[in-house]
Chain A
């Protein structure tokens, strides 16, 4: 594990203890993770900072609840921190992180289902906050973001996680299957059924675009959870 390590820190100067960790920013994810495994105490935190918004998006879309998403992400990142040496260098670091985050989310959902508690309460203030800082986004962007989060929450979790990975995160069917640990055909089927469930929930997107309304029979379909 240590044979190929040529340095523990980034290229820099020996200007003294106050020198900032310049040089890390230019490193790719593999390099940061490799340094973390070698014992560098700073690089994993930088990796987290680099990808946390992406992973937050995945977690919040998969779980639908900010508190749950925050807990799942914390579990996921601690797990990634400790298991970093199991990362195989031939994959992308983000794919590896996605797998850990998605699995942490699915674990939470399974635990929640086992507990059979009441559904988590809606927190409208928190939901609004999730749509992003007010000053940065146009109202319509925030509204769409909330629409998707709400709609995703209403569909079956297997369909939801498949759709988040394939349609929203842009993973191929095969990649999503590897992340979710199921057959590619299962992912395709979950995506198809998930889209069919989401369509009536997001039909106003299509009408606001100026096109004609989606047929009434579609809108009238009930939302199933299989």
Chain B
């Protein structure tokens, strides 16, 4: 209504819903916004549309707060896709989840083998980032590296092998398998020839200047680890040649 209370031309025609929605969102130029606001105040129909649009935003927000549960088949498929992706990545960077492989060995092993065949070259070249002595010194002596980042080759002396293996296993939540697929396979076949072939750790490393593979097998109890350092596993088709052995007992926590 105008101040005089007389209807004017803008009161005769209803605003369209777009205009009212634009008004709410402050999208109208100032003069038009003013006219529209005045009209809405005076016109019950347009006021109702105005209120309904506001209410719609609230209703959508209410509805949006509720998740829509993913259907089970979609969720299962998605999980399997992520596991495959993880196994594929593992085969190229040299670590994978034993938990996943244990759960679904049949579905994923063929893919892993195929992927492994494709990346032997990469593994042979070695993802050669060597941890610097500066990194080791951060831990405060004795050459302890708390954990070894994936794809790196830690440099150790043979007498640092035991304390490091102990730390790696104590910091891990399961087996530590840090090596390329060819190196892992070589280390496993070495383990298979031992009296207790339960592999707890396979770690690519440089020990006493030699490219080596550190293999940790379970000893008499869960906490006892028998460690063998071998050469020969880092090259394709190589065989494990042990050159250092030690054992450690993990601290129970």
Contacts and interface: CB of A to CB of B under 8 A. Distances in A.
Contacts of B90: 41
Contacts of A23: 173
Contact of B174 (A17, A205, A217): A17
Interface in A1-28: 2, 5-10, 12-23
B81 A77 contact: yes
B61 A170 contact: yes
A96 interface: no
Interface in B198-247: 200, 218, 222-223
| Interface size of B as a range | 35 or more
B174 A57 contact: no
Contacts of A169: 64
B6 interface: no
A39 B173 contact: no
Interface string A191-202: 111011011101
A214 B175 contact: no
A130 B83 CA distance: 25
Which of A6, A38, A41, A167 has the largest number of chain B CB atoms within 10 A? Answer: A41
A163 B53 CA distance: 13
A195 B169 contact: no
A92 B152 CA distance: 29
Contacts of A17: 98, 174-175, 200
Contacts of B146: 6-7
Nearest to A44: B82
A215 B223 CA distance: 76
A109 interface: no
B125 interface: no
A110 interface: no
Interface stretch (A45-53, A100-108, A114-122, A174-182): A45-53
A86 interface: no
Given A38-B149, A44-B86, A218-B17, A56 B67 contact: yes
B100 A188 contact: no
B14 interface: yes
Given A17-B200, A42-B99, A167-B57, A66 B74 contact: yes
